[in-house]
Structure 1
Amino acid sequence: MKWEDLKVYRPLTKEELKPAYKDFTQIVAANLQSFGFHLVGRKLVMLSNDLFHIIHLDTRGSWMGLSEYFKTEISLVAVCDKSPFIRKWELVGAKKIEELAVGIRDNYRITKEYPLLANFLTEKIIEHVLPYFDRYDTSLKVLADRDAFEYGLHMSENANLVLFSELQNGINVKAEEIIDNILMIVRTSNEYIDELNLYREGLQTGNWALINQQLASNKQEVFKKLKKIIPA
């Protein structure tokens, strides 16, 4: 029996939701392990050259508590960007799975039939998401297709992807502009703003040694966080 052939779905109680989500995530992770993905919390992470390929099974629900509905998010993250693992921000370079897989809904309900749903989702990831990841297996390929990662004046998660993709490759086409726009929007000083100011100084003075030193420090911190999961 396949999940898409089911006509009746049995709901879970609130008490059953949390263990069901955990088991559901483990099934998807086991199905994708042979493709190089490792489970990090609710994220399936694979290292691809100088990018992380991430599949986020967002089961957080709403502010009211755990929901019976979840969403699937796809993301590309530069290895020198501390956002998702150290700062624990929302994912950068993100797309919803329905943007890649026609016919997929924007959310799915966890029911007692969740093992079938996990296998269905895995099939769609293999069919539609993995080719997308193959298309962007390095940050240079992201930069070669900038139109696919647009961002507006007020920035977006794509801005961080383009910024770190440029910095990792010693490029300053949009990097300084992105930094200036972010600094104009965010007035409060914090660790990330301090880092951006360092990059800005390096770009304005041509001091790539300064930039590369910070990027190397970021990468070391990220891989230390993931050392038990992702080989350096």
Structure 2
Amino acid sequence: MWEDLKVYKQLDKTDINPTFKKFGSNLVSLIDGYSIDQTASLIKLSRLVNQLEQAVFIEKDKGSYNLKVRTSIKPVDFYRRHKFTMLNIVPLGDIMNNHRRTSYPLTQEWNNLAIYLATRIKTEVEHYFQKYNSYEKIIDRRKEIEPKDFGLDNKYELLIYAAIRTKKKELLNKYLDKKMSQPVMGITQSEYLKPDSNEIDEQTFLQRLKSFALTGDFTNIEKKWQQHPDKINCLQHWVWQNGGFRIYPDL
């Protein structure tokens, strides 16, 4: 078992990228119901539950063997449509109550590591996702999500959407004010290198939402979403389920 290993065999540098690709394919084959999106430096494993995208991101540091593992919970109609946008970012180590287990080495034992991470996803991570698998649960447990400081973990964005979906006027105004006071979002390397061509002016969009939120005008907030040209598209992606890949509409 990977967690029992005392010594790891390092990969040759030329083997890192092809091994990372195989690692992603193997990992998604071990967990039913998840789709995979992968670049040379990032693996995203995701599934759709109650209009929320639950995802595990595995990011390879540039020129390094180190893998960072984090989770994300994001509305499927979030106003930033880049597939690698992350909200409510939580390191795997926080979920496991083991802060040393947030990063992992990609070594010759990569297959054992895939089995280990698949087990963590099917146990601790899915238990964590279960606690926040609806907008109502997110609002009920909002104190667990509200950031202790304004870092780059993109938590207020999820809380804003949950307040809208549950029509909580006071909470919506509170979270919009928090977000608009410092609107910078943390982004992944993939978003930086290949930005979405449909990106919007975030500050203008939030100000418009705020104008409706002040009066509790949830009808116009919904209309504002429907006007977006970057709503859910019709591309396809592959989901590993019951021992094989199936085609689903893109999230």
**Could you tell me the TM-score, scaled by structure 1's length?**
0.84
Matched, 1:108 2:117: no
Matched, 1:181 2:178: yes
CA distance in 2, matches of 1:139, 1:98: 24
Which has the larger displacement, 5-14 or 196-205? 5-14
CA distance in 2, matches of 1:146, 1:180: 16
Match of 2:102, SS?
A: coil
Per-residue Cα deviation, 1:139-179 (whole angstroms, up to 9, x for no partner): 11111111110125646511111011111232223222222
CA distance in 2, matches of 1:222, 1:29: 26
The 5 Å alignment of 1:130-145 reads: 130-145=126-141
Q: What is aligned with 1:98? A: 93
Per-residue Cα deviation, 1:21-55 (whole angstroms, up to 9, x for no partner): 111111111111x2x21002221110001211010
Q: Give the direction of change, closer, same or farther, for the CA distance of 1:184–1:3 in structure 2 (3 Å limit).
A: closer
Matched, 1:199 2:200: no
Match of 1:39, SS?
A: strand
Matched, 1:23 2:27: no
Return the offset for 1:100. Answer: 1.4
CA distance in 1, matches of 2:225, 2:166: 11
Match of 2:138, SS?
A: helix
Q: Give the direction of change, closer, same or farther, for the CA distance of 1:124–1:186 in structure 2 (3 Å limit).
A: closer
Q: What is aligned with 1:58? A: 59
CA distance in 2, matches of 1:14, 1:55: 25
Percent identity (aligned)? 20
Per-residue Cα deviation, 1:52-80 (whole angstroms, up to 9, x for no partner): 10100111x1xxx3310101101111222
Match of 2:230, SS?
A: helix
Return the offset for 1:206. Answer: 3.5
Q: Give the direction of change, closer, same or farther, for the CA distance of 1:31–1:148 in structure 2 (3 Å limit).
A: same
Matched, 1:208 2:218: yes
Are the equivalent residues in 2 in contact too, given 1:53–1:75 (CA < 8 A)? yes
Are the equivalent residues in 1 in contact too, given 2:52–2:74 (CA < 8 A)? yes
Match of 1:53, SS?
A: strand
**Could you tell me the TM-score, scaled by structure 2's length?**
0.78
Q: Give the direction of change, closer, same or farther, for the CA distance of 1:31–1:165 in structure 2 (3 Å limit).
A: same
Residue type of the partner of 2:212? Answer: G
Unaligned runs of 5+ in 2: 185-199, 239-247
The 5 Å alignment of 1:26-175 reads: 26-32=25-31, 34=32, 36-41=33-38, 42-59=43-60, 61=61, 65-83=62-80, 85-86=81-82, 88-89=84-85, 91-103=86-98, 105-152=101-148, 154=150, 156-175=153-172
Q: Give the direction of change, closer, same or farther, for the CA distance of 1:122–1:228 in structure 2 (3 Å limit).
A: closer
CA distance in 2, matches of 1:132, 1:118: 20
Match of 2:82, SS?
A: helix
Match of 2:167, SS?
A: coil
Unaligned runs of 5+ in 1: none
Match of 1:174, SS?
A: helix
